[in-house]
Structure 1
Amino acid sequence: IVPAGWWDAAMLHAPGVWSRCGDVWWLILAGTILVALGLADDRFGLPVGFRLGVQFGIAAAIVWGLNTELSLFIDGGWLTKLLSVVWIVAVINSFNMLDNMDTLSSGVAAIIAFSMALVMLTIPDPGTDRPQLLVASLLLVVAGALIGFLFHNRPPAKIFMGDGGSYLVGFLIAVGMLMATFAAGDSGDGAASGWIGSRPHAVLAPLCAMAVPLYDMTTVIWIRIRQGRSPFQGDHSHLSHRLVDLGLSRTGAVATIHLITATCGLSALLLTHVGIWQAIAVLGIVMCLLTLVGILESTQWRRPDK
């Protein structure tokens, strides 16, 4: 619940918002390059090494150029920045790999973007004690665009995201999470800055929200390597395909993944507002949920491609 008084006209002129608006132009430029990369890959089939090289280059430029990195409450220096670059590339490719059924990747991305926007609106910036409007607005724009896209992407789909769309969506969500602050909350007397950093487990909220795309990417890569194939070779070993192999319809598989993602998104929101023991319980619920999914569909992991 957002404390009263935050949503006044003066909030829109908070220096924390306007001082970072210039970053948006760099995000637009970087996103445009990624869209062009995806379109070229859809049209000509670019080598994997080239695609990853451009993605890592864009991610490094954003992390070092905008001084945006993971909030790990440690002085990691170059290591923290390197992990931030890996995070951006991993999120980009997780959404790209998840884009294998109508409304799947776009629906998952919309749920994640919306849930993380709620997190940003309920965790004030420690410098201003106001909602993190810039990041929240970015994520809400992504979620709104995806909701509009879903209307045309529902079966039978009239338009598709393609690599260009999935690259852009993954990039904006990944960078939005890096730009966010997870170090503030309610001190009990309404002052957000009274206990900055007292809930370091809040930094796990993005990982919690992204649990489904990362689970799908990790298991797909593991299955392909286990079968002696390239981890970048397309096949039907994705979570959605494995659920279909269990007997679900394609629509049912997509709806199931959306529901799991929504559960993880709600868990991420809850994670940022509870103490350490409750946070352990929330993370345990997410882990149990993913483990249950893994158990139910693990019998399909070794099945040859159809």
Structure 2
Amino acid sequence: MLPPLIISLISLYPVRRWAQRLGLMANPGGHSTHTKVTPLGGGIGIYLGMMIPMVAGTLFVLFSDAMPWLPELLPESLRRHLPGIHSRLGDLWGVLGCASGLFVLGIWDDRRGAPVSVRLGIEFLLAAVTVYVFDVRLTAFIGAAWLTDLLSVVWIVAVINSFNMLDNMDGLSGGIAMIIAGAMAAVMLTTPVAGGGQPQLFVGGLLLALCGALLGFLWHNHPPAKIFMGDGGSYFIGYIIATAMLMATFASDPRPHAVLAPLCVMAIPLYDMSTVLWIRIREGRSPFKGDRSHFSHRLVDLGLSRTQAVLTIYLVTMTCGLATLVLVHVTVLQAFAVLGIVACMLLLVVILESTGWAKQNDK
């Protein structure tokens, strides 16, 4: 977690300086609420924070075969996991390769503005490659394999776009992603691999690396933001989180309900995306055209400051994350109580929002 944090934090200083020459600047106006020209390359720091340690780690594992003295540099607690890491390098770079494709797509979108059809087409293509080529798919109790594969593709695209939509206030998308990645890493490190007693170190390590990269980015993105994440960052983190959840093992014989963990921890981003699309369609507007109908904007309309709105969403997301950590370790009956907590949180949000809408309509 520390190397991604340091790389992300340091690399964003030159990105901020050279953003204008790179064509990565966000101008005020339109549906945006910021009031000054701001660099738009935060995703570069997140990407480098993830990729540089992954490249270094991969080279270390590969060279360990030819240089037996290399593993001796590691403590025994880490050394014994090298064979397992070596066996998963193909999975790792399949995922990181697709994530890199989405990062490039996002940077292009930030610089030039890619058409919606092209963006969605590439997202679905890379999601399909992830599922059908790299065999990363949903674990669900569904008899039809084709349906499981289809849901896996839709899940990846939905999570990518949910984080992209969340990127509308300083510290919001990056902070929510860090909370979710941290919660899921805790789940992985406390949930054994199916058929064994070892924690899920591969997926947990991937998520912790993302947490570090996001924390380095948030140093620059906290209010008032010195740099925005941009589509390059939101596509990248959305894909990593989505695929990490598909690679993880949740359900087992005594706890089949644990398969709901991804939906539980992702409740707020999915709620935001669903309600925004519903509002736009209900009002006869394009569901793909940005506006100020997001959850965060609606909280501001209720009277919260922008900082209070972001912190409120953090708090609700943390609650869902803690509920997810409990969910994977309890019995079926206890799981109903945990899921009930998440449902009550969402209903509370809906009630507060509906009260605000009613007051606005009365004016």
TM-score normalised by L of structure 2: 0.76
Contact 1:242 1:301 in 2 (8 A): no
Residue of structure 2 equivalent to 1:192: none
Q: Which amino acid aligns with 1:220?
A: V
Matched, 1:56 2:148: no
Partners of 1:108 and 1:261 within 8 A in 2:
yes
**Residue of 173, 186, 192 corresponding to 1:105:** 173
Q: CA deviation at 1:10?
A: 5.9
Aligned pair in 2 of structure 1 residues 229, 270: CA closer, same or farther (>3 Å)? same
Match for residue 243 of structure 1 among 295, 299, 303: 299
C-alpha distance in 2 between matches for 1:28 and 1:74: 28
What is the rounded CA distance, in whole Å, between the counterparts of 2:131 and 2:263 in structure 1?
18
Match of 1:273 among 302, 325, 329: 329
User: Map of 1:109-124 to 2, 5 A cutoff?
Assistant: 109-124=177-192
* Residue matched to 1:295: 351
1:233 partnered with 2:302: no
The equivalent of 1:181 in structure 2 is: 249
CA contact (8 A) 1:11 1:130 kept: no
**1:163 pairs with 204, 218, 231, which one?**
231
Structure 1 length normalisation: TM-score? 0.90
Q: Which amino acid aligns with 2:288?
A: F
CA distance in 2, matches of 1:88, 1:67: 13
Q: Deviating runs (4+, > 4 A) in structure 1? A: 299-304
1:1-306 equivalent positions in 2, closer than 5 A: 8-9=77-78, 11-13=80-82, 15=84, 17-183=85-251, 196-299=252-355
| 1:126 to partner: Cα distance | 1.6
Larger Rg: 2
C-alpha distance in structure 1 between counterparts of 2:322 and 2:282, whole Å: 33
SS in 1 for 2:101: helix
CA distance in 2, matches of 1:12, 1:283: 34
Question: Structure 1 residues 301 and 88, CA, compared in 2 at 3 Å: closer, same or farther?
Answer: farther
Q: d(CA) in 1 for partners of 2:116 and 2:355?
A: 30
Q: Which amino acid aligns with 1:229?
A: R
Q: Distance in 2 between matches of 1:178 and 1:42?
A: 28
SS state of the match for residue 300, structure 2? helix
**In the superposition, relative to structure 1, how do residues 197 and 10 fare at CA in structure 2: closer, same or farther (>3 Å)?**
farther
**Equivalent pair of 1:220/1:238 in contact (CA under 8 Å):** yes
SS of the aligned residue for 1:168 comes to helix
Q: Secondary structure at the match of 1:159?
A: coil
Partner letter of residue 23 of structure 1? D
Q: Find the aligned partners of 2:356 and 2:161 in 1 and give their Cα distance.
A: 23
Tell me which amino acid in the other structure corresponds to 1:270.
V
Q: Counterpart of 1:127 in structure 2: which amino acid?
A: G
CA 1:101/1:300 → structure 2, altered by over 3 Å: closer, same or farther?
Answer: same
Contact 1:125–1:181 at 8 Å: present in 2 too? yes
Q: Against the structure 1 CA distance between its residues 11 and 291, is the aligned structure 2 distance closer, same or farther, given a 3 Å change threshold?
A: farther
Listed as ranges, the gaps of 5+ residues in structure 2 are 1-75
Deviations 1:151-173 (A, max 9, x none): 11011111111001000000000
Q: CA RMSD in A?
A: 1.6
CA offset at residue 11 of structure 1? 4.3
Q: Which deviates the most, 96-105 or 20-29?
A: 20-29
Mean CA deviation greater in 125-134 or 225-234 = 125-134
CA gap 1:9/1:54 in 2 versus in 1, 3 angstroms: closer
Per-residue deviation at 1:288? 0.8
In 2, distance between residues paired with 1:14 and 1:273?
28
